[in-house]
Each structure stands twice: as C-alpha cells, then as structure tokens.
Amino acid sequence: MVTFADLHGSIVEADSISISKRAIVVGAAPEGASDTESAARAVRQMFSSIAPRYDLLNHVLSFNIDRLWWRRTARSFGDILSQPNAQVLDLCCGTGDLTLALWRKSIRTSSAILGADFAHPMLQRAIDKSTGTSLQWVEADALRLPVSNSQFDLVTSAFGFRNLADYDAGLREIVRVLRPGGECGILDFGEPGGFIGRFYRIYFKHVLPAVGSLISGVQGPYRYLPASVERFPSPQEMLARMERAGFVDVSWTPYTFGIAGLFRGRKS
C-alpha cells in the first residue's frame, strides 16, 4: 500500500490521490545532456567543480537545517543500525554528511557502513572528514555498483538520487544489493505548497542560485539545482516507481513543511 505522512507525521492512504500525467522523466538532465551517459558525465563534472565549497554552501543556503535532516534520517533507521553486524550502504554520499550521521547512530554496534560516490573530489572530502571512524568508501556509479547481490540491510541516499541519469535503474540497483526484507531510505528535496511554497520557490529559484554561484565561483551547478528539483518525480509518482522496482510498504515523510522528504521502502 502506498502511504504518505502529512506535515504532522501521521500516515494516510493515497489510493485516491491521482498521479500527474506529465511526461515520464527518465532521470536527471543537465543542460546540454542528450542521453543518460552524457547526463551522468555532466553531473560528475558539476559536483567535482563545487566540491571545495560544497559543505559551506550546504550549511549556509539551508540555514543549517540540513544538519537536522541528516540526524533525523539516521534516527529513522535506528532499529537497523542497532543490529549487530548490520551492513549499510550510503549511495551518492557526496562529502559524507549522512554517512557520518549513520555512523554516529550506530557507534555502539559493529555495523559496517560504506559510502559510495562517483565524483572523486567529493569522495576525497568525505574520506578526510571521516578520519578516526570505521567508515569505508568506494568510488562507484550508483547505477553500476561493484557489490554482490543481497548484501546490505539498509541503503540510503541523501540529495543524490535526484541526480541519477535513470531513476528506475537506480531503484532496481538498490533492490539488487538489498537483502530480502532490507530497507531503503531516499532523502531529497520537495516542493512545498501554500505560502511556504511561494516563498520557497522565490528563494530556491532566484536567491539560492545567485548566492551559490557567487560563493562557489561556478554558475552551472546552482542553476541546475532548482531545475533538477522541479524535474524530480512527485512523491506519488516516486512511490509508484518504488513499488514497480520491487519495494513494499513504501511511504514518504515530509521534512520542514515539505522542503525535503524521506522516501522509505522495504525489499519484498
């Protein structure tokens, strides 16, 4: 059953909610990309270019709310992280903020946590930040992971899944590497409604790109960001895609009035 959590956290059935009939989106489409391979190359280049200022910009542009999102997501999977010898994969881990939050939540257990990203400069910063931890890292494409089938108890991704060149292929790859009964958590941006939504769209489409480009010295990535969020499937559509990929008990929980939200599912 597809479920949604409202802004107060309660779960409601979504059987009567119609899914938008807009054209089906395959995946991310940065400017100039003509196919999935060129889209992946463009995404890698963009994130490699902003890696030196990525953490600073995340915290400044989100008013430090991003730190709360990492911790809340890690707490959501506390039952798995508390299990002895749990195997965890954080996809599109970037500089490792969610990966580190997961590790802190599991610090009293023997969980093995692996962070994966295909942008080398981002991953190098994650490695530098994780000195003294048990975290492991791999430079890898989320659509072609160098890991065996049914290996992980939990697969997460924070603000990276949206940048995959093929969303359905990404979901199928997550299903492949999860053990039966394993869980998936995808944290990403949303588009809130009402007054908050109007203010958010002005900030996200005009203020954020200008400030991000000024501080980073690179224009393309921060113009791409609002376009990628607008392009990303709605919660209804995303949950339907998760079910088609092989997930059950799928749900979406909004964070901070729906500015971000956590998609969850369990491998059947």
Q: What is the pLDDT of residues 100-151, one digit of tens each?
A: 999 999 988 888 999 999 999 999 999 999 999 999 999 999 999 999 999 9
Residue 22 is predicted with a pLDDT of 54
Number of domains observed in the structure of the chain: 1
User: What DSSP element (H or E) covers 163?
Assistant: none
In eight-state DSSP terms, residue 129 is: H
Residue 264 has pLDDT above 90, yes or no: yes
Identity at 180, one-letter amino acid code: P
Domain that holds residue 75: 3-267
Identify the band that residue 21 occupies on the pLDDT scale cut at 50, 70 and 90. Answer: very low
pTM strictly above 0.85? yes
Instruction: Give me 197's structure tokens.
Output: 């939504």
The counts of H helices and E strands in the chain are: 11, 9
Beta strands in 2-51 (DSSP E): 3-5, 11-13
Q: Which residues pair with 88 in a beta bridge?
A: 113, 154
Residue 89 is predicted with a pLDDT of 98
Considering the chain, what is the average pLDDT of its residues? 89
Q: What is the CATH number of the domain that holds 66?
A: 3.40.50.150
Give the relative orientation of helices 65-76 and 54-61 as an angle to the nearest 10 degrees. Answer: 100
Instruction: Give me 142's structure tokens.
Output: 């989320």
In eight-state DSSP terms, residue 171 is: H
Of the listed ranges 8-17, 75-84, 152-161, the least confidently predicted one is 8-17
Instruction: Give me 109's structure tokens.
Output: 């257990």
Q: At which residue do the structure tokens 């709605």 appear?
A: 234
In eight-state DSSP terms, residue 22 is: S
Residue 23 is predicted with a pLDDT of 65
Q: What mean pLDDT do residues 148-164 have?
A: 97
Backbone angles phi, psi at 230, to 5 degrees: -65, -35
Diameter over CA atoms, the chain: 50
